[in-house]
Amino acid sequence: MRIIKSVSQLERWREQIISKQKLDGVVISVCGGTGCHAYGCKGVKDQFAKNIRKDDAEHKIRLKFTGCRGFCERGPIVTIQPQGVFYQRVQEKDVPLILSQTIEKGKVLDHLLYEDSTKKRKVASEKDIPFYKAQHRLVLGNNGLIEPTKIEDYIGMGGYQALAKALFEMEPGQILDEITASGLRGRGGAGFPTGKKWEECRNTPGDYKYIICNCDEGDPGAYMDRSLLEGNPHSILEGMVIGAFTMGANQGFIYVRHEYPFACKSAEIAITQARRAGLLGKDILGSGFDFDAEMAKGGGAFVCGESTALIASIEGKIGEPRSKQVHTVTEGLWGKPTNINNVETWANVPLIIRQGSQWFSSIGTEKSKGTKIFSLVGRVKNTGLVEVPMGISLKKIIFDIGGGPQNGKKIKAVQTGGPSGGCLPASLFDLPVDFDSLTEVGSMMGSGGMIVMDEGTCMVDVAKYFTHFLEEESCGKCLPCREGLKRMREILAGITEGKGNGESLSLLEELARVVADTSLCGLGKTAPNPILSGLRYFRSEFEDHVYRKRCPAAVCTHLIQYSILEGDCTGCGACKKICPTQAVEGDRKKSHRILSELCTKCGSCKDVCKANAVRVQ
């Protein structure tokens, strides 16, 4: 790799990369996101590599192993350029066929195409798939085009041009104005204006300053930061160097959860490459500006997503938050001014610098600009990462992009904002998705988890789940959070076990208010949100549990019964064979029966029943 010492050298390098890429001919991209890994994408990639080598076709076919393309549920995903063919659920055995038919003869393989079930037709290109159609993939779009381990791919796409512009055509003050004018707000959860944060850090006097990229992504059900760092790490690094130049920072850290092994590797490789190319370190691009970055690994603590706890963790200490009377921008890492932004925020920075604040602020709503990546997951048909302009309605995301219900069950809620957020009922699905609208109705944007729930999801159980989650993740430093969460979880557990009484709900509400008012950090302050939003929108479900000892969603094991529907049972015997407690009886080819006194409600019979004859009530 070369060392780039000036803008003209960077430009020359880019031109060389582009002219070399023109010789590539066909490009086969295999998605290497973690979701596709679970479906065996590595085997598919290896098969391609083997066959291409065997055919001696390396000079005319470029094989790319890219980052996550978002439509994880349909993995492994393979795309072929320049034809623009989008194949899904590709298996190793399909590889020779793709090479001999699609690559050699230009023939599209029908069985690997996505089927649009609403129109009952096969779709050959990505842009025609409903899941992608309504999206606006500014930040995530390049994930499918570049190989994250190759800095050349990023440079070829115009990477580090924003940095060159920032270093040589702009003053730090101008960059700050541009970020402020763009209206960019923090993508990590709270939506604090990025420009304001940068300004405070910039104005704080100090001989040494730090910036941090927060990839602790602890919100369960959200994985956009992981996918960005895995799939396009240089865009984040570029954003960080621009930020460092603006604020006068000397050193940066990318803090990654250790549960993300691919992201850790990707960040490390990108840092090494950028350093070797002269895009990190001393005298970046010959500008005289020095800045370096390194990766820090987390240890599996949710609270470390909180800025002061994260700082403690980088310092090698226990991840306990501290009171925020003094902001981290004035006194952060090792007591020095420190600016922390989330992965997606950093990734937006190069886009704004390159294309201007005016362009950026033309997307989105009045107070929430740009796009936001959501992980659309749970009980919805099309699951994956979706990037949409701010202000789009929940309905559009869940039904147009997500394709609606998964198994014909009615969708009743969507959970946003992670454990600090809340569950919103279907009656609010016309709501525009932006920072302020979601907060107004008792939830929040959070880092972008969007977990769809249907009739089969019990809202009391969900409230119990989040409270238990937060109880486990509470660092234990302050009493309201440590003790309050435990008591609230106990009350909720009692309700799901049919032990709730007339006082349970009012006691829950009272405790929730105390915990919210008196906890030290954001974790405790927002911890009661799942309970409060549950009671606000789904009170009747809570009351069913308390007063009628019934779980309408048939989830809470103490309140449900398993049975076999006589007319639907084919008597295949699969349930009888799998039942661990011999609670199923019946002769072959005759309807079976569940003996409730032996049944442990494990649900295995339902898992194996092909006739869908097992009922839970």
Partner 1 sequence: MGFRPVDEIVGKYQGKKTALISILHDVQDQYNHLPEGALRKVALKLQMDLNDIYGVATFYKSFSLTPKGKHSITLCLGTACYVRGGPRILREMKKDLNIEPGQTTENKQFSLNAVNCLGVCAIGPVMVVDRKYYGEMNAVKAKRIIERMNKKGNGGKS
Q: Which residues bind partner 1 (CB under 8 A)?
A: 34-35, 37-39, 72-73, 75, 217-223, 226, 258-261, 296-302, 313-319, 375-379, 383-385, 415, 418, 449, 451, 453, 457, 462, 465-466, 469, 472-473, 475, 578, 580, 602-604, 607-608
| Cα(144)–Cα(122) distance, integer angstroms | 21
Nearer to partner 1, 431 or 602 (CB): 602
Q: Please state, in angstroms and as integers, the Cα–Cα distance from residue 40 to each residue in 48, 74, 76, 212, following that order.
A: 13, 12, 7, 34
Question: Considering the complex, what minimum distance in angstroms separates the CB of residue 259 from partner 1?
Answer: 6
| Cα(56)–Cα(54) distance, integer angstroms | 5
Q: What is the 3-state secondary structure (H, E, C) of 106-142?
A: CCCCHHHCEEECCCCEEECCHHHCHHHHCCCCCCCHH
Question: Considering the complex, what minimum distance in angstroms separates the CB of residue 258 from partner 1?
Answer: 5
Question: Considering the complex, what minimum distance in angstroms separates the CB of residue 594 from partner 1?
Answer: 16
Which one, of 240, 277, 261, 200, lies nearest residue 5 by Cα?
277
Question: Considering the complex, what minimum distance in angstroms separates the CB of residue 616 from partner 1?
Answer: 11
Backbone φ, ψ for residue 232 (5° rounding): -150, 65
Nearer to partner 1, 529 or 604 (CB): 604
Question: Considering the complex, what minimum distance in angstroms separates the CB of residue 79 from partner 1?
Answer: 18
| Cα(602)–Cα(616) distance, integer angstroms | 11
Nearer to partner 1, 66 or 457 (CB): 457
Nearer to partner 1, 164 or 377 (CB): 377
Nearer to partner 1, 19 or 561 (CB): 561
| Cα(240)–Cα(560) distance, integer angstroms | 53
Nearer to partner 1, 260 or 291 (CB): 260
Name the maximum alpha-carbon separation found in the chain. Answer: 83
Nearer to partner 1, 163 or 267 (CB): 267
- Asked if the bond preceding 82 is cis, omega within 30° of 0, the reply is yes
Question: Considering the complex, what minimum distance in angstroms separates the CB of residue 162 from partner 1?
Answer: 27
Burial class of residue 563 (count of CB atoms within 10 Å of its CB; 0-12, 13-18, 19+): middle
Indicate the angle between helix axes 233-247 and 224-231, nearest 10 degrees. Answer: 90
- DSSP classification of residue 185: B
Question: Considering the complex, what minimum distance in angstroms separates the CB of residue 39 from partner 1?
Answer: 7
| Cα(496)–Cα(560) distance, integer angstroms | 11
Nearer to partner 1, 156 or 446 (CB): 446
Burial class of residue 54 (count of CB atoms within 10 Å of its CB; 0-12, 13-18, 19+): exposed
Question: Considering the complex, what minimum distance in angstroms separates the CB of residue 297 from partner 1?
Answer: 5
